[in-house]
Amino acid sequence: MAGETELIERYFRDLGAHRDDVRLGIGDDAAITTVPPGRELVLTTDTLVEGVHFLPGSAAQSIGHRALAVNLSDIAAMAATPVWALLSLTLPAADERWLAAFAAGFGALAREQQVALVGGNLSRGPLAVTVQLAGLLAPGCAVRRSTAVAGDLLCVTGTVGDAAAALAMQLGQLTDNGSQTLRRRFEYPTPRVGLGMRLHGIASACIDLSDGVQADLARLAAASGQQAIIDVDVLPMSDALRAAAGDDAWKYALQGGEDYELGVAVSPENLAALKHVATVTGVNCTKVGSLQPGAGIELRRGGNVMQFSSPTFDHFGR
């Protein structure tokens, strides 16, 4: 069986985009890159663990794609441009077919998004993938989650709930109707990088919807010191979700995570500009609510109003 160094050499060297700002890539104790003058650096990391973020037996290509996508979504939510990734992969055994498929999934998305893989680490252990992603940004042009104000409108990109419905099918919690659309939305999410990097000057605040509309818009509102009002009836849902989940579709749209859409706060006067950049980048953008003075989140559905003080998903909270 090939060793760690050989495996990294074979599957990960030169994976992703070739970038002139990479001075030294995989193969030494660390990578060397150059940050252009007048650019800030944006740094994020996210981990996918087998049995937690994906089911045992999931397609390696999808895991490679998602491991990068979840980080791209964080960079997009800051309105930055992704540039360099580091990859830490822990595997029970050196299955080369698995590695090739994983690298194909990671590499295709990296090339598409002009991200270079500059460092890697492979070790034996339970299957888990940690990616760190760096982005660049003009100084002061980040869009944070904490800078929204009362009166801002809340929008979400794309459609929500698809990934959660696909996962529920895999878990046997929802009848599997064979929808490839939903499955693809879960396995190959599309981070909104192009839209994200155009949000400066338009959005008041932005957050990656990795944990779902309700949890993440509540976080954005809390970070901004406001209350979020969400009109559940207008959440953007795909036909595939409606067909699969019927009357429960709204629950997936409201609470399902893993879509990697963006939640954007925008002033009423900037809504048209947001819609414009969404159109330009080929992404739907739907107004789903607003912020008002207060705390927590208020959900409106079919004439009913539900209030929650702090409804957030997380790994250890429930």
Residue with smaller CB distance to a copy of itself, 39 or 300: 39
- The vertex-217 CA angle with 215 and 222, nearest 5°, equals 95
In a 10 Å sphere around its CB, with 0-12 CB exposed, 13-18 middle and 19+ buried, how is residue 28 labelled?
exposed
Amino acid at 262: L
Residue with smaller CB distance to a copy of itself, 303 or 317: 317
Q: Minimum distance from CB of 190 to a copy of itself (Å)?
A: 17
Task: Output the CA–CA distances (angstroms, integers) from residue 301 to 31, 106, 211, in the order listed.
Answer: 51, 39, 20
Determine contact, residues 211/312, Cβ cutoff 8 Å. yes
Distance of alpha carbon 166 from alpha carbon 209, whole angstroms: 17
Q: Minimum distance from CB of 200 to a copy of itself (Å)?
A: 13
- Measuring CA to CA, which residue among 190, 78, 68 is closest to residue 133? 68
Q: How far is CA 60 from the centre of its chain?
A: 18
Task: Output the CA–CA distances (angstroms, integers) from residue 203 to 33, 70, 74, 295, in the order listed.
Answer: 30, 21, 15, 21
Residue with smaller CB distance to a copy of itself, 125 or 303: 125
Beta bridge partners of 129: 48, 89
Q: Minimum distance from CB of 312 to a copy of itself (Å)?
A: 7
Residue with smaller CB distance to a copy of itself, 50 or 187: 50
For tokens 């818009």, name the residue. Answer: 217
- Measuring CA to CA, which residue among 168, 175, 210, 206 is closest to residue 189? 210
Distance of alpha carbon 285 from alpha carbon 158, whole angstroms: 6
Residue with smaller CB distance to a copy of itself, 47 or 181: 47
What is the total residue count of the chain? 318
Distance of alpha carbon 197 from alpha carbon 82, whole angstroms: 9
Q: Minimum distance from CB of 175 to a copy of itself (Å)?
A: 27
Residue with smaller CB distance to a copy of itself, 166 or 199: 199
- Residue 166, phi then psi, degrees to nearest 5: -65, -45
Residue with smaller CB distance to a copy of itself, 109 or 237: 109
Q: Minimum distance from CB of 91 to a copy of itself (Å)?
A: 8
Q: Minimum distance from CB of 1 to a copy of itself (Å)?
A: 6
Q: Minimum distance from CB of 96 to a copy of itself (Å)?
A: 10
Q: Minimum distance from CB of 51 to a copy of itself (Å)?
A: 7
Q: In this structure, how many other beta carbons lie within 10 angstroms of the beta carbon of residue 205?
A: 25
Q: Minimum distance from CB of 53 to a copy of itself (Å)?
A: 7
